[in-house]
């Protein structure tokens, strides 16, 4: 099998053990059939960005023994459009965030229904079930296993967080000030200004991951 390794750790002994574990497979840098990730959640997200849709076998950095596992789980991803142009396909979450020094003013629609107009705050997180235990949980204090989660980040006017059907379309409009648009652990971010529209919806792309903590 053609296998790619993604790891940013400096533990040479463990990396040697990982290569020994994979000795019967061909280690490649392109077109793998399987991607083995060793590290933290950011490593896994980076691997998905580099090799989208390819099966991932994920070993957390505290893992003591490498072993093949077949507990693969299928996850959907989110397509993210800025003013009609596709910018990201994310596995974890989408972050619309304010720029210092002024809070962001924005509005949110779900399937063309208003979910918040003229909101003022740090921004909004839109998460998949895969990302529900990350940034989303730090805001909401809970996760979810189905649908798409919308978490309002430190908004002035009380607004309830929401989990919507996974086939929903979420539109975020910038009303005033400037912000940034980011996704997962991607280094690319995009500037947002008044009038910009961010559309988020379920992607046709999916990925399959087996985890070993």
| Residues 204, 62: Cα–Cα separation, whole Å | 33
Asked if residue 210 is part of any domain, the answer here is no
Asked if residue 105 is part of any domain, the answer here is yes
What domain range is 35 assigned to? 2-68
Report phi then psi at 77, rounded to 5. -120, 175
170 contacts 126 by C-beta, under 8 angstroms = yes
Question: What is the C-alpha end-to-end distance of the chain, expressed in Å?
Answer: 23
pTM above 0.75, yes or no: yes
pLDDT category, 157, cuts 50, 70, 90? confident
Q: Is residue 212 pLDDT above 80, yes or no?
A: no
- Say if residue 87 is in the same domain as residue 174: yes
Asked if residue 144 is part of any domain, the answer here is yes
Q: In what order do the strands lie in the sheet with 179-183?
A: 162-164, 148-153, 123-127, 93-98, 179-183, 190-192
58 contacts 46 by C-beta, under 8 angstroms = no
Overall number of domains in the chain: 2
Residue 81 class from Cβ within 10 Å (0-12 exposed, 13-18 middle, 19+ buried)? middle
Asked if residue 212 is part of any domain, the answer here is no
% pLDDT > 70, the chain: 99
pLDDT category, 66, cuts 50, 70, 90? very high
pLDDT category, 209, cuts 50, 70, 90? very high
- Say if residue 105 is in the same domain as residue 58: no
- Say if residue 92 is in the same domain as residue 134: yes
% pLDDT > 90, the chain: 90
Per-residue pLDDT, averaged over 7-17, amounts to 92
């Amino acid at each position: 099998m053609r296998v790619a390794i993604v790891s940013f750790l400096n533990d040479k002994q463990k990396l040697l053990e990982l290569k020994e574990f994979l000795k019967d497979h061909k280690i490649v840098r392109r077109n793998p059939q399987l991607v083995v990730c060793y590290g933290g959640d950011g490593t896994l997200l980076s691997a998905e960005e580099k090799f989208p849709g390819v099966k991932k076998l994920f070993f957390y950095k505290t893992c003591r023994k490498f072993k093949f596992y077949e507990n693969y789980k299928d996850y959907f991803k989110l397509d993210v459009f800025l003013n009609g142009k596709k910018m990201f396909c994310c596995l974890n979450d989408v972050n619309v965030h304010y720029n210092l020094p002024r809070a962001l003013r924005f509005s949110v629609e779900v399937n063309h229904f208003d979910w918040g107009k003229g909101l003022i705050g740090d921004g909004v997180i839109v998460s998949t079930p895969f990302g529900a235990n990350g940034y989303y949980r730090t805001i909401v204090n809970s996760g979810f296993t189905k649908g798409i989660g919308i978490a309002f980040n430190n908004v002035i006017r009380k607004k309830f967080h929401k989990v919507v059907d996974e086939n929903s379309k979420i539109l975020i409009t910038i009303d005033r000030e400037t912000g940034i648009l980011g996704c997962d652990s991607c280094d690319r971010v995009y500037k947002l200004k008044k009038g910009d529209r961010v559309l988020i919806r379920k992607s046709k792309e999916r990925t399959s991951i087996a985890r070993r903590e």
